[in-house]
Amino acid sequence: MDDSTLHIAFEASLPLQQSIEEFIDGVPAQPGRCHLEELDALVVCFVDEVLSVFFKGPLQAAEAKGTSARLILGAMRVINRSANSLIGRLMKNTTLDEQLALARYFQNLRRYQGSKLYVAYPLSPAMAEKASLVFQASLLGEEDMGGLLVVMQAINDGAITHFMDNSVACLTLGRVNRALVSAARVTICKATASATQKGVPGMEANARTAVVRYFDQMLIRFDDG
């Protein structure tokens, strides 16, 4: 089995699925028309869902409370503020060419399993193998905390690369906006690192196992690679 086909993926909610397909299909069908309204609806829904999947979802699965849960939710709020600030500034002035580039970007994130639409990004072969081994060991009661933190951080880093960096790469930015993106990225990286390096070890063992099971279920191979 080819580990390079292993993705971190989540099934899109119906509103997100509709927004993705409307934007992806609409832009190339009418390339001369401005699609800012559809883009704005998509990006807002996308950010909300990504944060819910990567932060709220694991906590709910673990029924986590206390200091670790507050730390992770605090990180989520920091990321949400930074993301919303960038969205408000960058997306409102996108050109038709940039909207076309963003449509291609979202198309690359879209994967299907049967009739279900997933948002997904690939893991490297080495990290795919490590994630599979570390998660399975944890679920069997043989937790490797160091390995687990490496995998969780890699998943977070992958999300930042594929959900933030690759979308921003579709835009032509001036000096001021480049600086704002850079500052926001630093803030988001610090928040995710704090949630991982402090929040995960601070959980009770059974809660941590539930978080591992949650992310293990996000490891998916798709028929189309």
What pTM value is reported for the model?
0.91
Q: Which pLDDT does position 1 carry in this prediction?
A: 35
Q: Which pLDDT does position 2 carry in this prediction?
A: 44
> HEC string of 119-145?
EEEECCHHHHHHHHHHHHHHHCCCCCH
Q: Which pLDDT does position 224 carry in this prediction?
A: 61
Residues 121 and 109: beta-carbon distance below 8 Å: yes
And the tokens for 21? 């397909």
Q: Which pLDDT does position 91 carry in this prediction?
A: 86
> pLDDT tens digits, residue range 20-41?
999 999 999 999 999 999 999 9
Which parts of the chain have pLDDT scores under 70? 1-4, 224-225
CA 147 to chain centre: 21
Q: Which pLDDT does position 5 carry in this prediction?
A: 78
Give long-range contacts, CB 8 A cutoff, 24+ apart: 65-74: 66/202, 67/202, 68/198, 68/199, 68/200, 68/202, 68/203, 68/207, 69/199, 71/194, 71/195, 71/198, 71/199, 71/202, 72/195, 72/199
